[in-house]
Chains A and B, each alone.
Chain A
Amino acid sequence: MADPQTYYLNRGESLPERYGEDRLVILPRDPHNIFAYWEISPQTREALARRASEEGCPEFALCLRVYKYGWGEGEDAEGFFDLEVSGDINNWYIAVPHADRCYRVELGCKAPGRSFQSLLRSNLIRTPRDSLSDLIDEQWQLPDWKAQKLFRRISLYHLSSAEFFRRRPEAKRK
């Protein structure tokens, strides 16, 4: 039971179970496990049910399709695997085979004799390494603390993060 002040400040509310949005997010837990959570909005759910009945296959199953990439965004997936999930859960821990790889997950539906239909697409993450790197190229550099000047500028002019990052493209080209 909340004390009176907490009750007043929280106005008796607690956290919503869902936000009415479509989203699928993945987080790396360790080199071999990623955590996925998702929410399917009522609209998407309805559309899905409508399509399933139109196409005459009500027995579709929800499924997570886990794509493995090399080390970057611009590459094609090296492969994928599917995990069937029941319709009433909204999160899952996914065991992944390779450390230090990028992964993206799609939540979609599968029905017998039909191809995978994607509903939600996650962010891209990279799992940690679990061993020494095989790369032994050495490059050495003296640190350059140019960034220190930038801090003085935000404290002086109160630049926001947006103004800060607007300068990033120039920084990148150097």
Chain B
Amino acid sequence: MNPLRLLIVDDEADFVESLTKRLRRRGIACDGAGCGTEALARLAAAPYDVVLLDMLLPDTNGNEVLRAIKAQWPTTQVIILTGHASVEAGRESLTRGAAEYLMKPLEMETLFDKLTAHRGRPNGSRDSKGTSTGGRTDEEPFFSFQPIMEGTHQ
């Protein structure tokens, strides 16, 4: 199996760096992006299976990036991981097609489980680029609505 390709979008360089190092050890191909523009540029350059997206970015907010990703690369899974969580933003993200809405701080084991879980999804294939106008956009994105009020992670 090809390694999972992950794009980490977060303006905290320390976070991106440590997470990249740790995930690479676990066989995930990681890249980092410090802002929304950079993230979209990287996505345009190479396909990713999963995007780990922060909500508060220097140039825009996570939901805007999420919308852009889902519009162009509908099969790319987006997992929100943020310290700036709120019920409203969470609902919006999930409505816009985010696969998960997770809160910092999060243990590596949990995150790894989430990432690999989404890699296994049937629509997680990498040929999404350039076919955004195709029938795949009609497909139901993987949607894990988990009321965050419960505060539990399965």
Q: Do A and B come from one complex?
A: no
Q: Which residues of B does A touch, CB under 8 Å? A: none
Q: Which residues of A does B touch, CB under 8 Å? A: none
